[in-house]
Structure 1
């Protein structure tokens, strides 16, 4: 999935893979519903967690079974942007403080 989204970002931004220095050198933004459909249908990831970052922004973590993850910033305007991607996502169990 990581390679697919990197390729998608490069195509959408008109860059060639050889010119890219980082898989997230440029941020990919699309309407929220379009980006959510691409992430779930084309890349098989699901929204794992989310949290607010101010009144107009929500951070979302999308993951797949292989451990690839994508961090998406969703805005109140209806636009969402991929801001980070990586591998080896690991769900940490909450510890019992007792």
Structure 2
């Protein structure tokens, strides 16, 4: 259930940002280059992954030590773009209440 909430939130956020972010090529490169940069410069590792419309892969990278986070989207042609980044990331252990159940 925890993963479902994180994945659902992740995909919703990525869909909102996707249309304008993919058009911006300044923050795009090969996936290996982007992932290496996030690991080397910020100590970030992949925390979650989801599939967005248009067969685009959305990934959340973060560092528990520094609290930095980065949201990326990889297009079917292999281009990976940074579509969001920030600070104060933390893992949340919220449980999802099934639909129709009292909270």
TM bucket (normalised to shorter chain) is: 0.5 to 0.7
The residue correspondences of 1:1-98 to structure 2 (distance < 5 A) are 27-64=26-63, 65-95=65-95, 97=97
Unaligned runs of 5+ in 1: 1-24
Q: How far is the alpha carbon of 1:94 from its aligned partner?
A: 3.2
Paired with 1:77 and 1:26, the residues of 2 have a C-alpha distance of 13
Q: Which has the higher helix share?
A: 2
TM-score calculated relative to the size of structure 2: 0.61
Range with bigger deviation, 81-90 or 37-46: 37-46
SS in structure 1 at match of 2:32: helix
TM-score calculated relative to the size of structure 1: 0.64
Whether the 8 Å contact between 1:27 and 1:83 is mirrored in structure 2 is: no
Could you say what the CA RMSD is over the residues aligned between the two structures, in angstroms?
2.3
Count of aligned pairs between the two proteins:
74
Unaligned runs of 5+ in 2: 1-23
User: Alpha-carbon deviations, 1:26-83, whole Å to 9, x = none?
Assistant: 8500011111111112321101111110252011111012211111111121110001
**Could you tell me which residue of structure 2 aligns to residue 13 of structure 1?**
none
